[in-house]
A and B are shown apart, each in its own frame.
Chain A
Amino acid sequence: MAIVGIDLGTTNSLVSYWSDDGPKLIPNALKSFLTPSVVGVDDQGDILIGEAAKERLITHPHLTIGDFKRTMGSEALVKLADGAHSYQFRPEELSAFVLRSLKADAEQHLGEDVTGAIISVPAYFNDIQRKATIDAGKLAGLKVDSLINEPTAAALAYGLNEVDESQFLIFDLGGGTFDVSILDKYDNVMEVRATAGDNFLGGNDFRDLLLETLGSDHKMDLEELSASDKNKLIRLAELVKKDLSAREEATYSAQISDVKLEGSFSRDRFEELTSSLRRRLRVPMERAINDATLRPENIDNVVMVGGASRMPMIRRMVGRLFQKLPLSHLNPDEIVALGAAVQTGLKTRNAALEDVVMTDVCPYTLGTSAVVDDNYDNLVIVPIIERNAVVPISESQQFFTIRDKQTQINLDIYQGENMRPEDNILLGDLKVEVPAAPAGKEGVDVRFTYDINGALEVEVKALSTEKIVRKIFKNQANLSDEELEKRFKALSGIKLHPREHAENAVLIAKAERIYAESLKAQRDYVRSLILDFEQAITDQSNRDLDKVREQFSQSLTELENSMFDMD
């Protein structure tokens, strides 16, 4: 009976737990902490997750999918199908597979059942996306004890060791999302002062720009490429991007359909290409600082989190903005998971964390629409809970009828920062009956309660009759309980690829990818390697499988190095 922390990322997911000496990451079957958030169907119709699936993006593009976190909270169905197998999944279900695999890793590592989890979500995830994440947990058979905002988690991991009081800013640029939080730490209180972000800005956008440019450099029409070739190009762009974090100039060479791509890309060009993305990073930072009623110079430290914060241009920009060197961890993509583990420790009241209290904020404004100045055209949002209010919070406001003999008051509940209702996200509506009376005589008291998990409850009370209508918001895009139950059953029927074979699966997937990427002479060689290896696996009597695997892996690495000659 253990509770784990999970960072369910766009590109990578991690699982962690609180141990007697602090937060610890849990390795997966491949002994790596990062499990790529990629899901695929293998030749047997089982579900493959992580590295092996990632390798198969190129060889089996129609059976493999990544980046699905971006669609969380929508009803987008993903079809994974080829001749033999056909599945359709919602984003929650795809996430559930990743969670299931992480859960298995944790159970293996801890030697006990894992029943609960604290999952981190981008701070700027809205209500609908949060619910989808909780549903994903349920589908994976995990009780999601609570959600934690990613930058808050990072802050927990970082701030725990900061003895002094300080105010710091967490800059979290992951694969698909960008979050900023400002924290104030004093006397073992970790107080989130403000949070802002952009749900559609991350390392992958930098990659995509590079992708487009590579495509046009080599006169390729990206739209026309086959799914497999497109994934090859994406992989190439990703490699070049990462290489440019280390070097001034990345040289690449790759074979995509009949075209041989060769060339080099300079860091300067990449930085110039992405300047607009970089500037978009400023908006959330400015907003967070303003909301925290601080000035940039009051920020003692800037902590860089998320894999994409490794890019030198990002650090330089942050350094320039704050006029100080940002802090970075050796592994910026692991911090959020560590923080989630700290949160599990807090939640279970671990003795080591007895004294630590963390308070978070609601990252967006919640309100209802109302007419002001008795002018019907002048419909505006009336905020009830202002963004960056400390949660849990409960606030109320009164509204009155606008017409004579009005018998019903309709309340639309919105989330967002804009003045006009239509520009915000509509969460739902409520209706209350009131006795007929002259305009302005009857009214309602509207109370919004927002809890620490980001769930909103609205209670409307008619002033004269004291009649109460209450609603906890559950959005249409989310699954109903019955539906959830049904899908849980369906998913339980689908097998994950056996964990103990994970290593072999990755190697074979990788070999197949190299096969797809290579040319004739090399292909024969790769094929013979694969066949030999498969033979060794089926051959039960072979006691040296480990050694064979080792050799196979080495041959592949050598092959790959000769192909993707990156320097």
Chain B
Amino acid sequence: MDVWERLGIEKTDDERAIKRAYAKKLKTIRPDEDPKHFQTLREARDEAIYLAKYDFDYDYDWDDEEEASDSSSHNEENLSPTVEPSLEEQGAENLTLERALDDAEPRIEDSYVLTLDEEDVKRDPIISQSTNSKLTELKEEDALSEVTSEGAPSNIRGTSNVKEVGTKLGESETPPNLPGFYETDIDDVTYEHIDDEVENLMGPWSLWDTAEWKKFVNRVRECSFDISNYAEYEILSALGDNLTEAKIESSFKRDARLNILYYLDEEYGWTQNDRRIYAVLPSDQSDVLMDYLRHGEIGVSHGSGETYYDAFGFPLLTAEHFKDYLGKNDSVYEKYYQKSYSDGRELRPSWCWPGFIFSPLWLAHRCNDGLEALAGMFYLMALIVLHYGLTTPSVIASILGILMIVSIHVLVGVYGRKLVVTTLANTLQDLQNDEKLSQDEKLKKLASIGRGGFKALFDFIVGMAGIGLIATLIYRLLI
């Protein structure tokens, strides 16, 4: 049984006839009752339509125009925008949005039939819910004037406006005067224009300018589907070449360019449907692009479970992470982190008073991961040198001792916040890779590093005292 027999018609290239036959059969084969039959019927119809469009036509003189637009729209996966073929026919360079608007105008006249007449209006809106309910074409403002007062619409005023517009539409040659409706300030967007602009924006990877990108994308996204699709295609192909050159840079640095990629993603919905990307770009380039987009997008799980990094290796931390680490909602560090992140810059120095004043102690308390021991030893050495300078007495040693002490205070003051964030991120990563620890133990470990508290201080003082004692002994023995 071939498709035509299934549909119960003669071979034809009339799509309408095929649909009619299908509709007729459908009345006897209900999709919900006889899914198998329905599927064969549907497949027969699809094939028949396909044959009618492509195969059948070979015997005839076919219309160039149809072929071009059909073949481009037939293949779903062929995602290079469907505008391309038809575009050439129309002379791409000249096609501006303005023209598109002009083209569309007669159609508006055709279809703009106002069905709202006086009688309809006087009816309660509930009546319009009966089977005969008409979806009325309204000028936007009129529809609104009716809905805003929650109760019964006072739509008499509205209608007269509709009528006015209606008659205007019918009579006038020029596009209807609908304020703001088709108004665009983007009439200059042409396909050629897009090519140039994308090339400009793309430039060297280091010169990406957020504001310029947004301006461009906002503009094309306000245009017709064709233009917007075309721009997407251009952007994607340019991105493909560009991305592979610029892989991840340093860690703890988030690049403004990534923000642009995220922005593009939000506009075009790539991460929701990445087949579009894979259709335009070869799969290695697509993978890189998706890497860039995905890693910033994934939700960050809470509590030393997993940390995520964006494509530039910047850890993605949440308030929960900070809370686990610091034991309270200390917004100082979190705000500092958020700011660095949204600035799209690296973690920049930011003054930390407690770090400056209590340097070694503060380190022991906040970054209790071994670093404080180093700092403590350095501090002790500084004290010894200072002591030596003062007792010998030696001016040079005294100054050196003071310098060493001041420098460690200043360093911790300047980098304190950055240190907290980096330690937190690093610890999270270590813990994440550690398979032996349970979730609870991980949280404990995290807490012990982030808020050493008294125990850290105690360890620190005992350690210092121990080292001091040994140093004194050696000193005594040597002298």
Please indicate the chain B residues that have their CB under 8 angstroms from the CB of A291 in the complex.
76
Closest to A354 in B: B27
A418 within 8 A of B: yes
With A296-B225, A321-B225 as known contacts, state yes or no: A418 contacts B143, CB within 8 Å.
Answer: no
Instruction: Give chain B nearest CB distance to A52 CB in angstroms.
Output: 17
Q: Is B391 an interface residue (CB 8 A)?
A: no
Asked whether B143 lies within 8 Å of A321 as measured between CB atoms, the reply is: no
A323 within 8 Å of B (CB atoms): yes
Partner of B153, one of A24, A310, A329, A330: A330
CA of A456 to CA of B104, assembled, Å: 43
A 319-356 to B, binary, CB cutoff 8 A, 1 in contact else 0:
11101110111110010001000000000000000010
- CB nearest neighbor in B for A286: B225
Question: Which residue of A296, A417, A451 is within 8 Å of B272 (Cβ)?
Answer: A417
The B143-201 residues at the A interface (CB cut-off 8 A) are 143-148, 153, 155, 178, 180-182, 184
In whole angstroms, what is the CA distance A290 to B80 when docked? Answer: 11
Chain B CB within 8 A of A279 CB: yes
Contact yes or no, B147 A331, CB < 8 A: yes
Chain B residues near A187: list those with CB within 8 A.
Answer: 19-20, 23-24
Interface readout for A162-173 with B: 1 if CB under 8 Å, 0 if not? 000000000000
* Chain B contacts for A329, CB-based, 8 A: 128, 133, 135-136
- Indicate if B6 sits at the interface (CB-CB under 8 A): no
Q: Is the CB of A245 within 8 A of B147?
A: yes
- Contact status B104-A21, CB under 8 Å: no
- Whole-angstrom distance between the Cβ of B287 and the nearest chain A Cβ: 8
Complex contact B129–A25 (CB within 8 A): yes
Q: A294 and B73: CB pair below 8 A?
A: yes
Pair B269/A283 contact, Cβ less than 8 Å:
yes
- In the complex, per-residue mask of A277-301: 1 if CB is within 8 Å of any chain B CB, else 0: 0011011111101110111110011
Mostly, the A contact residues are mixed
0 or 1 for each of B429-460: is its CB under 8 Å from A? (1 = yes): 00000000000000000000000000000000
- Verify A186–B23 contact, CB threshold 8 A: yes
Query: A301 contacts which chain B residues (CB < 8 A)?
Result: 111
Complex partner residue of A293 from B22, B76, B147, B278, CB under 8 angstroms: B76
* CB contact between A161 and one of B74, B107, B132, B147 (< 8 Å): that residue: B132
CA distance A315 to B182 in the complex (A): 11
A428 at the interface (CB under 8 A from B): no
Kindly list chain B residues whose C-beta atoms are within 8 Å of the C-beta of A320. Answer: 181-182, 184, 222, 224
- For residue B274, CB closer than 8 A to chain A, the reply is yes
Q: Judge whether A245 and B148 touch: CB under 8 Å.
A: yes
Q: Name the residue among A23, A321, A325 with the largest chain B CB count within 10 angstroms.
A: A325
In the bound assembly, the distance between CA atoms of A394 and B43 in angstroms comes to 12
Describe B's contact surface by its main secondary structure: helix
Task: Say if the beta carbon of B131 comes within 8 Å of chain A.
Answer: yes
Q: Is A257 part of the contact surface with B, judged by Cβ < 8 Å?
A: no
Interface check B312, CB cutoff 8 A: no
- Asked if A276 is at the interface of the complex by the 8 Å CB criterion, the answer is yes
CA gap between A226 and B147 in the complex, in Å: 32
**A293 adjacent to B27 (CB under 8 Å):** no
A215 in the interface, Cβ–Cβ < 8 Å?
no
Q: Judge whether B294 and A423 touch: CB under 8 Å.
A: yes
A418 touches B224 (CB 8 A): no
B135 and A323 contact, CB distance less than 8 A:
no
With A158-B135, A245-B147, A283-B268 in contact, is A355–B27 under 8 Å at CB? yes
Nearest CB of A to B211, in Å: 15
Binary CB contact string for chain A from 365 to 407 against chain B (1 if under 8 A, 0 otherwise)? 0000000000000000000001000111110000000000000
Contact in complex: A189, B26 (CB < 8 Å)? yes
- In the docked arrangement, what's the CA distance between A280 and B26, Å? 37
Q: Which of B129, B140, B146, B224 contacts A323 (CB 8 A)?
A: B224
Would you call B398 an interface residue if the criterion is a C-beta within 8 Å of the partner chain's C-beta atoms? no
Is A328 a contact of B108 with CB atoms below 8 Å?
A: no
Proximity bits, A1-41, B CB within 8 Å = 1, else 0: 00000000000000000000111110000000100000000
B82 within 8 A of A: yes
Q: Is B100 an interface residue (CB 8 A)?
A: yes
Interface string of B273-288 (1 = CB under 8 A from A): 1110010000100100
Interface centre among A319, A323, A452 (most CB of B within 10 A): A323
A527 contacts partner chain B, Cβ-Cβ < 8 Å: no
Query: A391 vs B129: C-alpha distance in the bound complex, in angstroms?
Result: 29
Separation of A327 and B138 alpha carbons in the complex (Å): 7
Contacts between the two chains (Cβ within 8 Å), count: 197
Q: Contact check: which of B128, B153, B274 meets A423 at CB < 8 Å?
A: B274
The size of the chain A interface, using a CB distance under 8 A, is 72
Q: Are A186 and B19 in contact (CB under 8 A)?
A: yes
Residue among A21, A303, A327 facing the most chain B CB atoms (10 A cut-off): A327
Residues of chain A with a CB closer than 8 A to B272's CB = 283, 417-418
From B76, B141, B290, give the contact of A420 (CB < 8 A). Answer: B290
Q: Does A243 contact B (CB under 8 A)?
A: yes
Q: Total interface residues on B, using CB and 8 Å?
A: 79
The reply to whether B273 and A312 contact each other, CB–CB distance below 8 Å, is no
CB pair B135 A417 closer than 8 Å: no
- Nearest A residue to B182 via CB reads A320
Query: Nearest chain-B residue to A285 (Cβ)?
Result: B225
Q: Which residues of B contact A242 (CB under 8 A)?
A: 148
Chain A CB within 8 A of B32 CB:
yes
Residue ID in chain B nearest A391 by CB atoms: B31
Cβ 8 A contact of A357, one of B30, B139, B146: B30
User: C-beta contact mask, B196-231 vs A, less than 8 Å → 1, else 0?
Assistant: 000000000000000000000010011011101100
Whether B31 and A324, one on each chain, are in contact in the complex, defined by CB atoms closer than 8 angstroms, is: no
| Contact call A22/B131, Cβ cutoff below 8 A | yes
Segment touching A, from B34-42, B251-259, B401-409, B413-421: B34-42
Query: Are the C-beta atoms of B266 and A276 separated by less than 8 Å?
Result: yes
Interface string of A413-429 (1 = CB under 8 A from B): 00001111001000000
Interface 0/1 of B90-130, CB less than 8 Å to A: 00000000001100100110011000000000000110111
List of B residues within 8 angstroms of A419 by Cβ = 274-275, 278, 283, 286, 290
B221-263 toward A: CB 8 Å interface, digit per residue (1/0)?
Answer: 1101110110000000000000000000000000000000000
Name the one of A246, A303, A338, A418 contacting B144, with C-beta atoms under 8 angstroms: A246
CB atoms of B228 and A310 under 8 A apart: no
Is A316 within 8 A of B222, CB to CB?
no
Whether B14 sits at the interface, judged by CB under 8 Å, is no
Residue of A nearest to B42 (CB): A390
Q: Is the CB of A287 within 8 A of B129?
A: no
> Whole-angstrom distance from the CB of B108 to the nearest CB of chain A?
6
Tell whether B271 is near chain A: CB-to-CB under 8 Å. Answer: yes
User: In this assembly, does A465 line the interface, its C-beta being within 8 Å of a C-beta of chain B?
Assistant: no
**Within 8 Å CB of B31, what residues of A?**
357, 359, 391-392, 452
Chain B's nearest CB lies how many Å from the CB of A231?
Answer: 20
Check: A410 CB closer than 8 A to any chain B CB: no
- Whole-angstrom distance between the alpha carbons of A346 and B108 in the complex? 34
Query: Can you list 12 A-B contacts (CB < 8 A)?
Result: A22-B131, A22-B132, A161-B135, A279-B218, A283-B268, A286-B229, A287-B269, A319-B140, A320-B184, A357-B30, A392-B32, A418-B274
Q: Apart from A303-B135, A357-B27, what are 18 other A-B pairs with CB-CB below 8 Å?
A: A22-B131, A161-B133, A186-B19, A243-B148, A291-B76, A293-B76, A310-B147, A320-B181, A323-B101, A323-B104, A323-B107, A327-B136, A331-B128, A331-B147, A394-B35, A419-B290, A420-B290, A423-B294
- Interface residue ranges, B against A (CB under 8 Å): 19-20, 22-24, 26-27, 30-32, 35-36, 38-39, 42, 69, 73-74, 76, 79, 82, 100-101, 104, 107-108, 111-112, 125-126, 128-141, 143-148, 153, 155, 178, 180-182, 184, 218, 221-222, 224-226, 228-229, 266-269, 271-275, 278, 283, 286, 290, 294
- A-B pairs, 9 with minimum CB distance: A22-B131, A323-B104, A246-B148, A187-B23, A283-B269, A392-B35, A417-B273, A189-B23, A315-B140
| A contact set with B: CB distance below 8 Å | 21-25, 33, 157-158, 160-161, 186-189, 242-243, 245-246, 275-276, 279-280, 282-287, 289-291, 293-297, 300-301, 303, 310, 312, 315-316, 319-321, 323-325, 327-331, 334, 338, 355, 357, 359, 386, 390-394, 417-420, 423, 451-452
